[in-house]
Amino acid sequence: MIPELGSFALMLAFCVALLQGVVPIAASLRNNGAGGAARWMALARPAAYSQAVLVTIAFACLVHAFVVNDFSVLYVASHSNTALPLQYRISAVWGGHEGSLLLWVEILVLWTAAVALLSRQLPAEMLARVLGVMGLISVGFLAFTLWTSNPFERLLPAALQGQDLNPLLQDIGMIAHPPLLYMGYVGFSVAFAFAIAALIGGQLDAAWARWSRPWTLVAWSFMTLGIFLGSFWAYYELGWGGWWFWDAVENASFMPWLVGTALIHSLSVTEKRGSFKNWTVLLAIMAFALSLLGTFLVRSGVLTSVHAFATDPSRGLFILVFLALVVGGSLLLYAWRAPSVGLGGRFAAISRESALLANNVLLVAAAGTVLLGTLYPLFLDALDMGKISVGPPYFETVFVPLMAPMLLLLAAGPFLRWKQAGFKDVRSLRWVGVAAVLCAIAAAVAVGSSPLLVMGLTLAAWILLATVWHLLQRLRVFEDNRTRFSHRLGSLPGSYWGMLIAHAGIGVFVIGVTLVKGREISHDVPLQAGDVHQVGGYDFRFIGAKNVQGPNYSAVRGTFEVTRDGKPVATLSPEKRQFASGGMPMTEAAIHRGPTRDLYLALGEEVAPGKWVVRIQHKPFVAWIWGGALLIGFGGLLAALDKRYRLKRSGRSAA
Amino acid sequence: MKPRHKRLALVGAGLTLLALAAWLISSAFQKNLVFSVTPTEVLQSHAGDRSVRMGGLVEAGSLKRAADGLTVDFIITDLAQRVPVRYKGMLPDLFKEGKGAVVQGKLSAGGVFLADEVLAKHDENYMPPDAAHALKQAAEQAAAKDKK
């Protein structure tokens, strides 16, 4: 009964979404100032709210089915069982294709409701169009859910017991990762809706950029945190000690992030200077299209087997048609409207605009390389033209030369003035550059050097020092008396702090990546009880292995005592788990974390009685990768909370 | 410089940058893409200096461990041809005799496939696509021979 209620709520939501997508936009086009059209446009807001309520009801119905183990629902039976702890039964809601689609729609309607609630100052026409576009996106997704991937489909007769959720996904990181990432994916739909609404109205102005900016920043921050969580999970759960594999699943989220990064920078130019308008719109369309592509790539099964995917053509066809409509439709609108937009403020070859333009070109080129490496093998396979794979070597070869100039620019960009800058703006940076090189050389001498290591550390030091230098200059620390220092500190806007923190986060991240890449040590060694093996100055003594019993698995647990120069550091217990429900063994690594290094231990197999192959890894500065990613994400959130966006709003609503 | 010339210079610089990026990408792509091959195809080609990815079944009873406890030898087969493989290091959780596996590496002059990676991104029931492809191809070729 309750699953049918969920289905019914989805159908109603579909009708409401259709209403929300068609009527307000149509009315806004015929708006001649008379009252009639205004009343029709005003339909958008209540429609958005009721759609949110309806989809939330459906979502709650699915959660309920998982909580009470309703195995008469096919989706529940194939993704959950009674032995699963409650929190994993709930996260199993988005463990498969159908449920994650519903989560997508749920987050979409929540974003829509948030826009309806917080955009009271938007002109009525603009709001009607923004909500209308989001309604149309919702129509597409609800239709996809209802007709090809209904999570409420019944299984008759009901199964007695469900299948297990993949043990790898039974983890707290995996509970939070998809919702966070989806907040990002779906959040770009707001930026997209604003762009399309502005195109329809032909008003691509600074006001549009100012409305769009905080939404885009929030979405981008969520996406950053979502990607971070996925990578963090892969690091401790997959048992290999890697944190980024250039896997198609990861690339699917990285592409919209790269374009989204370009978008938030391009939006700042549009808001401040009125330039880049066309380009910003194009980026917003691209970011959302890549988000759609990412969702489908990961959840539709096309990655595991192109051919299996093609044998069930209804889903594939729907996806292709929907993508074609969204991308084709918006590009058509763009082609029609863009020529009338105008160029906005002019700028010189050396100016902040130019620096940001270069940043945009590099980021989009980077996204293009990832797209090529991810989709090309799929195309070849689908056309039966041979099977190839494109691995980390390709991505690394391409990424270093693309990102190095970008990191160089990143530090200098904020020093350049808008419109027309000169070398005098960046003259003081020469000392920062010298200091960065010295820092890097000192660090490289301390830990051992390679050209790539020195380059990475120089860039990181350059970014960090220049960021601090920019703050000091802005506070005019070296100029006059300190009495007004605290006043100046307090008057710096949130968006400025956000930028500084995110940029510093990039520096921290680069340090982590450089040192992990260049200085990590990994040994595979066979050990017997009592054996000692030394890695990175730490002695690992194997005490022994014994069988242990977990809640829904049995495991072999090895015990290792780690010492350094005779002093105890930690006791580590990596495990090899065998889950009761499935035949898949799993390596549970043991990690001792530290600010400057992680010790990473994974148990292999027993090669002779009492003799185990063990992988021991010493990974310097891994924590800096996570720290950097968190700083980047929180920097974005801080910038989104800038008072400026809210002040303008209250000012407008009062007027 | 007139503004128009400036803009032209800017556009030119941008295009140069794009061309450079395109060149970089295509050359990196050419150099680093890895072809998936079947054991039959590996034996038909000669020992090469390019890494390839070979899928098939791990022949039952073929897994041997060297005295160092780390080096393993096994045979990957598509049921038509058998290729001896050597790998040093920890094997993934899902590596089992009689199951599908994918190895990445090069065929040495001595006819042993030296793997530097053993991949196992699949669950216990599921055959990796590369391995399934190799078996299917070999079966099709055998069927074609029978007809002759």
The Cα–Cα gap between A172 and A177 comes to: 9
| Cβ-nearest to B6 among A166, A348, A389 | A348
The per-residue pLDDT for range A509-556, each reduced to its tens digit, is 999 999 998 889 999 899 999 999 999 899 999 999 999 988 778 899
How high is the ipTM of this complex?
0.82
- Binned at pLDDT 50, 70 and 90, residue A309 comes out as low
- Binned at pLDDT 50, 70 and 90, residue A482 comes out as low
Side chain identity at B45, as an amino acid letter? S
Residue A577 has a pLDDT of: 87
Residue B148 has a pLDDT of: 62
- The one-digit pLDDT tens for each residue of chain B (148 residues) are 567 787 788 788 878 877 887 888 888 888 888 888 888 888 887 656 778 888 888 888 888 888 887 899 999 988 888 899 999 888 887 788 888 888 988 888 888 899 988 876 554 445 666 777 777 777 777 777 776 6
pLDDT of A164 higher than 90: no
Residues in A 160-179 with any Cβ partner in B closer than 8 A: 166
Higher per-residue confidence, A489 vs B39 = B39
Q: Which two tokens stand for residue A349?
A: 């070859």
- Binned at pLDDT 50, 70 and 90, residue A308 comes out as low
The per-residue pLDDT for range A54-91, each reduced to its tens digit, is 999 999 999 999 999 999 999 999 888 888 888 888 98
Closest to A293 in 3D by CA, of A324, A330, A332:
A324
Closest to A574 in 3D by CA, of A609, A546, A538:
A546
Taking the model in full, what pTM does it have? Answer: 0.92
Q: Which of A258, A346, A369 is the best substitution to test chain B (most B C-beta atoms within 10 A)?
A: A369
The per-residue pLDDT for range A582-623, each reduced to its tens digit, is 666 788 899 999 999 999 999 888 888 888 989 999 999 999
Q: Is A634 on the interface with B (CB under 8 A)?
A: no
Q: Which two tokens stand for residue A612?
A: 């185990």
Alpha helices in A413-484 (DSSP H): 423-426, 429-447, 451-475
pLDDT of A648 higher than 60: no
Backbone angles phi, psi at A140, to 5 degrees: -60, -45
Residue A600 has a pLDDT of: 94
Residue B102 has a pLDDT of: 87
The per-residue pLDDT for range A166-225, each reduced to its tens digit, is 777 777 877 888 899 999 999 999 999 999 999 998 888 888 999 999 999 999 999 999
Contact across the interface for B70 and A613, Cβ inside 8 Å: yes
The Cα–Cα gap between A6 and A99 comes to: 12
Contacts of A587 in chain B (CB under 8 A): 93
Rounded-to-10 torsion of CA B98, A305, A381, B22? -110
Closest to A51 in 3D by CA, of A41, A59, A62:
A59
Residue A636 has a pLDDT of: 95
| Cβ-nearest to A585 among B36, B65, B93 | B93
Q: Which two tokens stand for residue A98?
A: 């159908």
Residue A174 has a pLDDT of: 79
Residue A382 has a pLDDT of: 79
Contacts of B123 in chain A (CB under 8 A): 166, 582, 584
Alpha helices in chain B (DSSP H): 3-32, 39-44, 129-147
